[in-house]
Amino acid sequence: MTLPAAPGAEGAARRGELARNLAAIRVRVAAACQAAGREVGEITLVAVTKTRPAADALALIGLGLTDFGENRDQEAAAKAAAVAETTPAAVSWHFIGQLQTNKAHSVVRYASVVHSVDRVRLVRALGAAARAAAAARAAAAPRELSCLVQVSLDSDPSRGGVPVGEIPQVATAIEAEHGLTLGGMMAVAPLGVPPETAFASLRAISATVREINPAAAIISAGMSGDLEAAVRNGATHLRIGTALLGNRSLPVL
């Protein structure tokens, strides 16, 4: 992926748009935290840059963001490489989409967190890929891949996610896999269900994951339209796309 050579005025206008959107998101998060009796520092904003160019990620890095989410490996790998070539800033890439096992070896090269782990077979593939990647960079400091158990809140298999009753199986597999660390859980509000209702069980589900590893405290839930409900119900990571970057365009690759 090559960074777009946008005219200066066009680039400045886009940076201004992103700055305004980010400021508005921060106001919403601050208000949600105040209403919930929580601290803003408890919340991590993950900017979902899917279908957006690397230039947008670079602009957001300049505005202070460090966490970026992608859901297609081909796009994410190229974008992460382009960003790494352009800035020395420390950036964390979050893979948030449904993941095929044959993409594991690519994803572990750039991702710090995989939000969508929902089956033991995928855990095994990610573990093997993480160990192979670690061996390839033996001179570098070891790095574990943080994996979140994606939990289905409505048991719809088409949307990904493990049923609540199978959380311990997947969480235990992650914890046992060398090269991986159990980071917490992720959930998406089902279509047609009020966010407050959908997210009411987040804290209880997180407690189930933390029975396997007490440090696995991440609760990844909440997007542009339902972040307030997610914050009220314990979310620590918000995956923000449209409200920050605008309506989706065609894929960049």
- Where do the DSSP E strands lie in the chain? 44-48, 67-70, 92-95, 111-117, 145-150, 180-186, 218-220, 237-240
pLDDT at residue 249 in the model? 58
* Mean pLDDT for the chain overall: 93
Q: Which domain holds residue 97?
A: 8-245
Half-sphere exposure of 248 (CA within 13 A, CB side): 11
Q: Is residue 252 part of a domain?
A: no
User: Region 155-163: what's the mean pLDDT?
Assistant: 82
pLDDT of residue 252: 47
Q: How confident is the model at residue 163 (pLDDT cuts 50, 70, 90)?
A: very high
What pLDDT, in 10s, does the model give residues 56-96? 999 999 999 999 999 999 999 999 999 999 999 999 999 99
In a domain, 143, yes or no: yes
Residues 17 and 33 sit within 8 Å (Cβ to Cβ): no
Residue 3 covered by a domain: no
* Cα–Cα dist 248/250, whole Å: 7
Is a pLDDT exceeding 70 seen at residue 248? no
Under a CB-based contact definition with an 8 Å cutoff, are residues 118 and 162 in contact? Answer: yes
pLDDT over 80 at 100, yes or no: yes
* 161 domain-assigned: yes
Q: Is residue 14 part of a domain?
A: yes
Q: How many domains does the chain have?
A: 1
1 within some domain? no
Residue 24 has pLDDT above 60, yes or no: yes
- pLDDT tens for 209-244 read 999 999 999 999 999 999 999 999 999 999 999 999
Q: Report CA torsion sign: 185, 189, 193, 196.
A: positive
Higher per-residue confidence, 83 vs 251: 83
Of 109, 107, 178, 113, which is closest to residue 137 (Cα–Cα)?
109
Q: Over pLDDT 70: what percentage of the chain?
A: 92
What mean pLDDT is predicted for residues 16-40?
A: 98
Instruction: Tell me whether residue 206 is in a domain.
Output: yes
Confidence of residue 4 (pLDDT cuts 50, 70, 90): very low
Q: Report, in angstroms and rounded to the nearest whole number, the Rg of the chain calculated over CA atoms.
A: 18
Whether 118 is covered by a domain: the verdict is yes
Its pTM stands at 0.92
Render 32-59 in DSSP notation, one character per residue: HHHHHT--GGG-EEEEE-TTS-HHHHHH
CATH number at residue 190: 3.20.20.10
Confidence class of residue 138 from pLDDT cuts 50, 70 and 90? low
The 8-class DSSP code of residue 137 comes to T
